[in-house]
A and B are shown apart, each in its own frame.
Chain A
Amino acid sequence: MKLKRFITSMLAITELELRKIRHDQSQIWMRLIQPILWLTVFGVTFSAIRVIPTGDYTYLQFLTPGILAQSVIFVAIFYGINVVWERDLGLLNKLMSTPAPRSSIVLGKSLAGGLRGILQALGILLIALVIGIDLILTPLSILGMLVIIILCGICFSSMSMALASIFRTRERMMGVGQAITMPLFFASSAIYPVSIMPDWLQVIAVANPLSYVVDALRSLLVTGDLSGLGLDVLILVASAAVLLFLASLGFKRMLV
């Protein structure tokens, strides 16, 4: 009974976020511009000059999973700013006055972050196809991709919400969002292999959940070698759990 209530409220929060997107679809299209540029300008240029060793695969093949992951974190990271905004308006205060468990609110929001990532990912996939990037697209690989994207969205939107409870103002959160998205992206295997990074950066890359997202997406969509997938998923689930826990703790602090 309790679990049922938990799930109902979680889904209600997710639904709320998705309905907002449905009413304003332009934000989805806007958010596709940057990944398109990354693929068509950055990707195409770096393929041409061949400075990054990517083994048997073209640089564009290598890059696509990285851009998929990037687009998801860029969206997810804004959930923290959004939460601060809602707190300032009073929406959070009202939400917390309902019987919905606080953790269900956090989970619902990050799930929405994940689902939104999916919309994003499908758009990018379509563009990749149009550009003619060779990807493994079977029902299974696509399904796998969706699961990874959702996990990625959950991880980074809860990370962002946890940070929101520490930094507490919109201005600071904007700064934090900008300060961490790029380093997260560059300190991962998104645009170059971990092996060519300096040692200190490799250490960061290994601790960066984004590396596992990219790794998993790459094995699903590019190499087809699924031997490391289990570990990637395990690490992502564990990170998601920890970050969700931190975000739920933080949520209580938001209202004191």
Chain B
Amino acid sequence: MTEMIDNAVKVENLEKSYRKIKAVDGISFDVPEGEVFGLLGPNGAGKTTTIRILLTLIKPTSGSARIFGMDTLQQSDKIRQISGYVPQGISVDGEITAYENMLIYSKLYGLPPANRKKRINEILEYIGLADRAKDMVKTYSGGMMRRLELAQSLINRPKILFLDEPSIGLDPNARNAMWEMVRKLRRELGSTIFLTTHDMVEADTLCDRIGIMDRGKLVVIGTPNDLKATVGGDVVTVSAKNASLSEVIEQLGYQTIGEPSNGTADLLVKNGEKAIPRIVEAFKGKGVELDSVFLKKPTLDDVFLKYTGSRIDDGAGWAQAKKTRMTYRRMAK
């Protein structure tokens, strides 16, 4: 039975090399139809490159990718016709209205003229931009622009939706609105959603399954809960100045995720609440007075740390994207 149904995405040994770098380095995974799947990884992990190969925008160096059984090299037209795409960059034109942006894309997807108007208005209504449809897009806020980009990607009723960093550059309110929108889409339209993000909260709240990507490789794949369980316990972060934490930790036989740095270490323990007093005692026994002790349940960031040895470096890309959008609006004016 399962052999009859094609997966929405099937990727095998996919590789994409540029002159100096392997952007995607031999990854394989499947995404069943109807799933919200997320690639989580830091800047330069190869997320966008993967999406662009799946969308037939660039050719892989080797390996294969199929969308609903269609090969990205051989059936690119068909794949494009059933896919929706919200790119990491900007995809709506600021110098025309929202409605016009939608209209042009309805034509590019070959919607019959009789349906266009109705479909566009429906989608704008759905996404909550109907009352601003006749405004020039350059007058939109970053969040509205991103929503319009989502609307634009729905014009052909895609069977699969690719969202490349859907909430990049948005402030917390707009980000929440975006998440709500994605959940609604998933609930009401049932399309498969393939997203990328470097935001663990986003991955955690939106995705059924997550693939963690780092430097072109897919390091681990699973549901958020399964992944967090692989951390193997709670995380107790201890910090102490002027002490060689690594040595003491080794002597005491604690397991850590990652290497201690800047006088802090993440200890991995069962039942964190009960472990804390014992930890403090044990360190004291070795002559180390802890400055602070902090308990948390494992997050995807810890998962990331466990598998890659570093934390997802947040911030830079986010600020950059926001800046790009603002510059664009300013220049369009």
Instruction: Give the B-binding residues of A (Cβ under 8 A).
Output: 5, 8-9, 11-13, 15-16, 19-20, 23-24, 89-91, 93-100, 255-256
Contacts and interface: CB of A to CB of B under 8 A. Distances in A.
Contacts of A94: 85, 87, 89, 91, 152
A176 B2 CA distance: 57
A20 B101 CA distance: 11
A98 B85 CA distance: 9
Which of A12, A97, A100 neighbours the largest number of chain B CB atoms within 10 Å of its CB?
Answer: A97
A97 B328 contact: no
A89 B89 contact: yes
Given A89-B89, A89-B90, A256-B58, A99 B95 contact: no
25 contacts: A8-B108, A9-B108, A15-B107, A16-B100, A19-B96, A23-B95, A24-B95, A89-B90, A89-B324, A90-B88, A90-B90, A91-B91, A93-B52, A93-B87, A93-B89, A94-B85, A94-B87, A97-B55, A97-B80, A97-B83, A98-B80, A98-B108, A99-B77, A99-B81, A99-B108
Interface of B: 52, 55, 57-58, 77, 80-81, 83, 85, 87-91, 93, 95-97, 100, 104-105, 107-110, 136, 152, 324, 328
Nearest to A86: B93
B104 to A, nearest CB: 5
B96 A16 contact: yes
B104 A15 contact: yes
B250 to A, nearest CB: 49
Given A15-B104, A98-B105, A255 B57 contact: yes
A9 B90 CA distance: 20
B73 to A, nearest CB: 14
B107 A91 contact: no
A90 B110 contact: no
Given A20-B93, A91-B93, A255-B57, A99 B87 contact: no
Contacts of A16: 93, 96, 100, 104
Chain A at the B interface: mostly helix, strand, loop or mixed? helix
Contacts of B77: 99
Nearest to A93: B87
A93 B107 contact: no
Contacts of B87: 90, 93-94, 97
A19 B120 CA distance: 18
A12 B113 CA distance: 12
Contacts of B55: 97
A5 B110 contact: yes
Nearest to B85: A97
A99 B89 contact: no
Nearest to A88: B89
B255 to A, nearest CB: 44
Contact of B96 (A8, A13, A23): A23
B107 A11 contact: yes
Contacts of A11: 107
A164 B330 CA distance: 24
A95 B153 CA distance: 11
A98 B109 CA distance: 6
Nearest to B95: A20
A9 B107 contact: yes
Given A13-B108, A16-B100, 14 more contacts: A12-B104, A16-B104, A20-B96, A23-B96, A89-B328, A90-B90, A90-B91, A94-B89, A94-B152, A96-B57, A97-B57, A98-B105, A99-B80, A255-B57
